[in-house]
Amino acid sequence: MSSFAPAAWCIDSLCTPAKFRLPGVPEAVRQARFPFRLLRYWFMHEALRAEGLRRAGGRFEVTEIGLDVGQMLAFSRDTLAHRGEPLPWTRWSGLDCQPQWDALRAAGYDEVACIDLDLPEQLAARPAGSCDAIVLLHVLEHLHDPLPALQGLARWLRPGGLVLAGTPCTPEFARAWWERRLRARARPRGHVSVISPQRVRDWGDALALETEWLAGAFFMRRKGNPLENQAWWLRANLAFGRRFPGWPGEIYWGWRKPAAG
């Protein structure tokens, strides 16, 4: 397991015009050169881009779960177009428990469907080995018991496939306490599960998936912070996150399914 895979990724993805076309993003976030609140899309985009390069133009089918209005796909498409790069994926499907159909069709998904990760029969209905990458961006914290859902999703992966995920993060020593607090006041579809680096590794072991990389996103984040215009500040925060992924904030990681044979 390496926490340093993101160290080689291009931070300029956060500077592209893609951020100005994302719906629901506050103006103060848009105006920052390296907006930390968009790091969630940066982690997923750069991991998918790296995987596409690794596959050298071969089949690469992505399934994204938890879509909102399609910001993840929009960020990735626009960033690649700005760079003049081809799409690394051959198909991108989207699944959500409450799809916003019109917005998602306009966003350019190859498929949009409704799914509830709390219902195992819906996970079992989709064929095994049907995709090469699964993106779970701020989804797992909304599930009361994420592991059964992850087991169903891991079945969808082809050998050598990836799960890319990101959630809020809490240190392991405080995880159980904070989870009780969250559940006592949770609203419908709100945050009910708390994730730590140890929990990510334990889930990976239970799923027979290798944790290829795992990293925190930042030491400090504040909307409108002028430091978010400085590349050195972003690099310093990413370096801190790689060294201390359990710091309260956000955590991102990649799991790999073993290749056949």
Query: CA-to-CA distance for 127 and 123, rounded, in angstroms?
Result: 9
CA atoms within 13 A on the CB side of 67: 31
Q: What is the pLDDT of residues 197-252, one digit of tens each?
A: 999 999 999 999 999 999 999 999 988 899 999 999 999 999 999 999 999 999 99
Of the candidates 190, 231, 217, 236, the one whose C-alpha atom is nearest the C-alpha of residue 43 is 217
β-strand 111-114 against 91-96: which pairing, if any? parallel
Helix or strand (DSSP H, E) at 139:
none
Q: What is the pLDDT of residues 41-90, one digit of tens each?
A: 999 999 999 999 999 878 899 999 999 999 999 999 999 999 999 999 99
Instruction: Give the sign of the dihedral formed by CA 105, CA 18, CA 12, CA 43.
Output: negative
Instruction: Indicate the length of the chain as a whole number.
Output: 261
Q: What is the pLDDT of residues 79-137, one digit of tens each?
A: 999 999 999 999 999 999 999 999 998 889 999 999 999 998 999 999 999 999 999 99
Q: What is the pLDDT of residues 8-43, one digit of tens each?
A: 898 999 998 888 888 878 888 888 999 999 999 999
Helices (H), the chain: 27-31, 39-55, 71-83, 101-107, 120-125, 146-156, 172-185, 197-207, 231-243
Ordered by where they begin, the domains of the chain are 5-256 (3.40.50.150)
The confidence score (pLDDT) of residue 223 equals 83
Q: Which residue has the tokens 């931070």?
A: 11
- Give the 3-state secondary structure of 54-108: HHCCCCCEEEEECCCCCHHHHHHHHHHHHHCCCCCCCEEEEEECCCCHHHHHHHC
